[in-house]
Structure 1
Amino acid sequence: MTTPDSDSLLAEQLLRLTRRVHRIQKRHLQQSGLGVTPAQARLLRTLAHCDSPPRMADLAARLEVVPRAVTTLVDGLEASGMARRAPDPTNRRVIRIELTEGGRKALRELRGARVSAAEEILDPLTTLEREVLSGLLDALVGGETVDHGPGPEREGKPDRRRGPEGERGGIC
Structure 2
Amino acid sequence: MASEEAVARFGAVVGELHRLLRRKVVARVHRDSLPEAQVELLHLVRAEPGISGKEVARRLGTAPNTVSTLVHDLTGAGLLARERDPNDRRVVRLTLTDAARTRMADHAAHRSALLTEALATLDPPARDAILAAAPHLDALLDALRARP
Q: Same fold (TM over 0.5)?
A: yes
Match of 1:32 in 2: 29
Q: How many residues of Structure 1 are paired with residues of Structure 2 in the alignment?
A: 146
CA distance 1:93–1:14, change in 2 (3 Å):
closer
Q: CA deviation at 1:87?
A: 0.3
Which of 37, 40, 46 is the aligned partner of 2:44? 46
**Mapped pair 1:116 → 2:117:** no
Q: Say whether the 8 Å CA contact 1:62–1:164 is kept in structure 2.
A: no
SS at match of 2:83: strand
> Following the alignment from structure 2 to structure 1, what is the Cα–Cα distance between the partners of residues 135 and 14?
16
- AA aligned to 2:29 is S
Query: Which structure is higher in helix share?
Result: 2
> Following the alignment from structure 1 to structure 2, what is the Cα–Cα distance between the partners of residues 123 and 17?
19
SS at match of 2:93: strand
Query: Which structure is higher in strand share?
Result: 2
Question: Could you give the per-residue CA deviations for residues 125-159 of structure 1, whole angstroms, max 9, x where no partner exists?
Answer: 244423322333533542635xxxxxxxxxxxxxx
Q: Which runs of 5+ in 2 are unaligned?
A: none
Which of 15, 18, 25 is the aligned partner of 2:15? 18
SS at match of 1:95: strand
> Following the alignment from structure 2 to structure 1, what is the Cα–Cα distance between the partners of residues 78 and 137?
37
Q: Say whether the 8 Å CA contact 1:54–1:96 is kept in structure 2.
A: yes
> Following the alignment from structure 1 to structure 2, what is the Cα–Cα distance between the partners of residues 165 and 89?
32
Q: Say whether the 8 Å CA contact 1:25–1:113 is kept in structure 2.
A: no
CA RMSD of aligned residues (A): 3.1
Question: Could you give the per-residue CA deviations for residues 90-130 of structure 1, whole angstroms, max 9, x where no partner exists?
Answer: 11111111111111111111212322343355343244423
Kindly report structure 1 stretches of 4+ aligned residues shifted beyond 6 Å.
none
Q: Which runs of 5+ in 1 are unaligned?
A: 146-161, 167-172
Identity of aligned residues (%): 22
